[in-house]
Amino acid sequence: MDWFYSFPKMNDETLRNLKKAMDEGFKAFTRSYGDVIESFFQPLQYFLIQAEKFMTSTPWPIMVLLIAGIAWIASRNWKIVAGTVITLLLIGYFDMWSDAMKTIAMIFVGTVVSIVVGIPIGIVMARSDTFQRVVNPILDVMQTMPSFVYLIPVVMLLGIGKVPGLIAVVIYAIPPMIRLTNLGIRLVDKDVLEAADAFGSSSWQRLKNVQIPLALPTIMAGINQTIMMALAMVVIASMIGVQGLGQPVLRSVNGQFFSLGLFNGLAIVGIAIIFDRVSQAYGMRLQKHQEVVHG
């Protein structure tokens, strides 16, 4: 009755060999393809470094003005702009300016990559049920797999630094972008699509004139979610050498510095709120035509 009380498991020896084989296989893969993969991500690194350089080397008053300007253009709302400026000034006053800029650069690049990669995938998914069946479980894995686990192969391949951090951020942040693009396009009113067909739209015209514009509120919600998830990844990404607000948080966990952790944590929250309010207000403004209703 032994098998009844302890689960019949694989032979220890076999299991050890299996793991060893997998590890060695992956190491061999890393050795032979690591360089190729690294050069593949070279442009990304360049983009990231440029963004970070720009954010950190621009004098702070100009940066504050610039961000406030973007907030104004996107939201046209004085309250949001005022909140943005106050948050930025507080972050600077508490000596977190340069870390905050590095984090914003990271989030910016991560979000751009997620949008550029995610929207086309979402569009293809909306057009093909087969593709959707394949992609959905992958997205499930990306969202539920503990991030540390996929950090391991990324670090093995690309070492420690910005690019692996960015990849980790993108893996974590891209699923809502893909899912909501897919959902938004699938939810587009069938009647309007039929009208587009009846006038002889090609499939590109259908996508450009009808599907994307009508799916835009959902796509914007996806972008908003992606930004939020990218910010949530900042601390974890700091474990593999990403600079920014995550590193002091990590230090404070190791050294039990309560106030250091709290300040940097609050700075992340502040940036998150800015990004969220500005991107949501922009999304609402794009949907201006839905607010004015015939009475």
Partner 1 sequence: MADRSVQGAGIQIKNLYKIFGQKPANYVDAVKKGMTKTELNEKYNHVLGLRDINIDMPAGCIQVVMGLSGSGKSTLIRHINRLIDPTAGEVIIDKSDVCKMNQNDLREFRRHKTAMVFQKFALLPHRTVLDNTVYGLEIQGLSRAKQEEQARRWIERVGLKGFEDNYPNQLSGGMQQRVGLARALTNDAPILLMDEAFSALDPLIRMDMQSVLLDLQKEIKKTVVFITHDLDEALRLGDRIAILRDGEVVQQGTGQDIVLKPADEYISSFVKEVNRGRVIMVDTISTKGDGAGNAGGVTVKTGTILEEAAKTMTDANQQHATVVDESGKPLGVISMNNLIQAMVTPISHLTHQAAE
**Other beta carbons within 10 Å of 136:** 15
Closest by alpha carbon to 65, among 85, 93, 92, 91? 85
Q: x/- string (CB under 8 A) for partner 1, residues 170-189? A: -------------------x
Opening angle at CA 56, ends 50 and 58, nearest 5:
95
Q: How far is the CB of 269 from partner 1 (least distance, A)?
A: 34
Q: Which stretch binds partner 1 (CB under 8 A): 71-79, 127-135, 149-157, 287-295?
A: 287-295
Instruction: Output the smallest distance, CB 259 to partner 1, in A.
Output: 49
The residue from 191, 256, 258, 259 that contacts partner 1 (CB under 8 A) is 191
| Residue 149 lies near partner 1 (rule: CB under 8 A) | no
CB of residue 284 vs partner 1: minimum separation in angstroms? 13
Please, are residues 278 and 223 in contact by the beta-carbon 8 Å criterion? no
Task: Examine residue 37 and tell whether it contacts partner 1 (CB under 8 A).
Answer: no
Query: For residues 208-247, which are near partner 1 according to CB under 8 A?
Result: 209-210, 213-214, 216
**Distance (Å, whole) CA 68 – CA 86:** 10
- Indicate the residue among 101 and 188 with the shorter CB distance to partner 1: 188
| Minimum distance, C-beta of residue 291 to partner 1, in the bound complex (Å) | 9
How far apart CA 237 and CA 168 sit, in angstroms, is: 7
Question: If binding is defined by CB under 8 A, does position 292 make contact with partner 1?
Answer: yes
User: Minimum distance from CB of 209 to partner 1 (Å)?
Assistant: 7
Task: Dig out the tokens for 71 from the structure.
Answer: 């907030």
CA distance 244 to 266: 13
Task: Locate 206 and state its tokens.
Answer: 């259908």
Question: C-beta of 215: minimal distance to partner 1 in Å?
Answer: 11
Report the Cα 55 to chain-centroid distance in Å: 19
With CB under 8 A as the contact rule, which of the stretches 34-42, 92-100, 143-151, 201-209 interacts with partner 1?
201-209
Cα–Cα distances (Å) from 109 to 45, 50, 113, 219, 246, in that order, read: 10, 10, 6, 18, 16
204 makes contact with partner 1 (CB under 8 A): no
Residue span binding partner 1 (CB under 8 A) among the ranges 58-66, 112-120, 150-158, 199-207: 199-207
Q: Determine how many CB atoms are found less than 10 A away from the CB of residue 204.
A: 8
Of 205, 253, 255, 262, the residue at the interface with partner 1 (CB under 8 A) is 205
Q: Directed axis angle between helix 258-286 and helix 246-255, to 10°?
A: 150
CB of 219 to partner 1, least distance (A): 13
Looking at 198, 256, 258, 259, which residue binds partner 1 (CB under 8 A)?
A: 198
Distances (CA, A) of 19 to 7, 30, 54, 159, 218: 20, 16, 44, 22, 43
Report the nearest approach of partner 1 to the CB of residue 205 (Å): 6
User: HSE on the CB side for 219, CA within 13 Å?
Assistant: 23
Q: Which of 192, 239, 250, 281 touches partner 1 by CB under 8 A?
A: 192
Size, binding site for partner 1 by CB under 8 A: 24
d(CA 137, CA 35): 30
Which residues would be at the binding site for partner 1 (CB under 8 A)? 189, 191-192, 194-202, 205, 209-210, 213-214, 216, 287, 289-290, 292-294
